[in-house]
Structure 1
Amino acid sequence: MNSLDILRREADLLAMSAIGQPPHKGVPACPGLNLGETVRHIGGGYRSVLAWIRLGREPEAGEWQEYPAPQEDPLDFMRSGAEAVIAELEAHDEDEPCATWWPDQQNYGFWRRRLAHETTLHRMDVQGAAGMEVGAVADEVAVDGVDEVLTLWLGHKLDVLGVRGSRDSLVTIQVEDHLWLTRCGPRGSSAWRVVDPEDAHVADAQVSAGPMTMYRWLWGRLPDRLVTTVGDDDAIAQLWALLRLATK
């Protein structure tokens, strides 16, 4: 999976999907979010990443351009942000060190992967708001997206936020022959790949779906009826609620 190619392609698709669309159109999967705010958000996000890289730390408010300038078209703001961050990432090898918000991966590869998935997710949001068919991604990309949301957001971001579950529970996530175990509870949350399928039998519940469906479900973009669930519904509900807090 070439994350930089995915980022470049998805940024182009997002921009093309937004052309000519009224900014007030709501994103069906995210009540309260509209097309214009999605485009603005991703444009500001690109600039935030550039600030992270150039400052060597998390930027503070005001250290990057979060909103378009007066009279600047939000779509132009998004496009110029994409061009700038892609050029920066392209100029460095994946393994070259740089500041990120994940201690386990302090290199340019982190930002390539993170922005590839961020852009893909919001491209789907824009297409949904525009009333278009939401374009699928390759299974390899979706599976990597599942791994990222579980290990990075559930397994790390919640700890940074100091958010805990109310009860200990294990939930297996299955995407074809790929398996993850998630642990949530008062001591924190974590997720890891399962090598031996027998290890998944200790779980209280399991959620199964195809790559694209699971990718979108974990990010809160699809309803429960589109995935297959087995076991303790409360354990799944806790996982779902914690993911919403981690990824909001």
Structure 2
Amino acid sequence: MNSLDILRREAELLAMSAIGQPPHKGVPACPGLNLGETVRHVGSGYRSALEWIRLGREPQDGEWQDYPEPGEDPLEFMRSGAEAVLEVLGAHDEDEPCATWWPDQQNYGFWRRRLAHETTLHRMDVQGAAAMEVSAVTDEVAIDGVDEVLTLWLGYKLDVLGVRGSRDGLVAIEVGEHVWLTRCGPHGASAWRVVDPEDAHVADAQVSASPMTMYRWLWGRLPDRMVQVHGDDDAIAQLWALLRLATK
């Protein structure tokens, strides 16, 4: 999977999907979020990543351009951010070190992957707001997105936020032959990929779906009825709630 190519393609698709659309159109899966704010958020995210790289640390509020200049078109703000970040990421190998917010991956590959999924997710949001058919991604991209949201956001970001579950729960996430186990509870959250699909049977509950559906469900973009669930409903509900906090 070439994350840089995905980022380039998804940024252009997001922009094309937003052209001519009223910015106030709401994102169906995210009450309170609209199309214009989604486009702005993506443009800001590109600039924030560039500041992480430039400064070698987390940028503080005001150290990057969060909003378009007065009179600047938000879509152009997003597109110029995409061009800038693609230029920087394309000039460095994936394994070349740089600052990121995940201690386990301090290199340019982190930003390639992170921004590829960020752009893909919000491209889907823009298409939903515009009442377009949501373009699918390949199974490879979706499966990588499942891995990212579980290992990075659930398995790391929650700990940074200091958020804990109220009870121990082990939930298996199944996408065909690909299986992850997630553990949530008072001692924190973790997620890991397992080699043998039979390991899913040790879980309190299982959630299964196609790659694209699971990718969107884990990010809160699809309702529970779109996935197949089995076992402890409370464990699944806790996982869902913690994911919403982690990815907020």
Superposition deviation, residue 198 in structure 1: 2.8
Pair 1:131-2:125 in alignment: no
Superposition deviation, residue 199 in structure 1: 2.1
Structure 2 CA distance, aligned partners of 1:182 and 1:9? Answer: 31
The aligned counterpart of 2:15 is: 15
Pair 1:189-2:161 in alignment: no
Q: What TM-score, normalized to structure 1? A: 1.00
The aligned counterpart of 2:229 is: 229
Structure 2 CA distance, aligned partners of 1:239 and 1:112? Answer: 27
> Runs of 4+ in structure 1 displaced over 6 angstroms?
none
SS across alignment from 2:93: coil
User: Which runs of 5 or more structure 1 residues have no equivalent in the other structure?
Assistant: none
The aligned counterpart of 2:144 is: 144
The aligned counterpart of 1:85 is: 85
Code of the residue aligned with 2:131 in structure 1: it is G
Structure 1 CA distance, aligned partners of 2:76 and 2:225? Answer: 38
Q: Deviations over 1:120-140 (max 9, x none)?
A: 000000000001000000000
SS across alignment from 1:212: helix
Structure 2 CA distance, aligned partners of 1:211 and 1:197? Answer: 16
The aligned counterpart of 1:242 is: 242
The aligned counterpart of 1:170 is: 170
Superposition deviation, residue 200 in structure 1: 1.8
Equivalent residues of 2:178, 2:197 under 8 A apart: no
- Between the two proteins, what is the percent identity of the paired residues? 87
Q: Deviations over 1:182-205 (max 9, x none)?
A: 000000000000112232211000
Structure 1 CA distance, aligned partners of 2:200 and 2:186? Answer: 21
Structure 2 CA distance, aligned partners of 1:5 and 1:13? Answer: 12
Structure 1 CA distance, aligned partners of 2:17 and 2:75? Answer: 11
SS across alignment from 1:171: strand
Structure 1 CA distance, aligned partners of 2:12 and 2:197? Answer: 39
Q: Deviations over 1:65-118 (max 9, x none)?
A: 000000000000000000000000000000000000000000000000000000
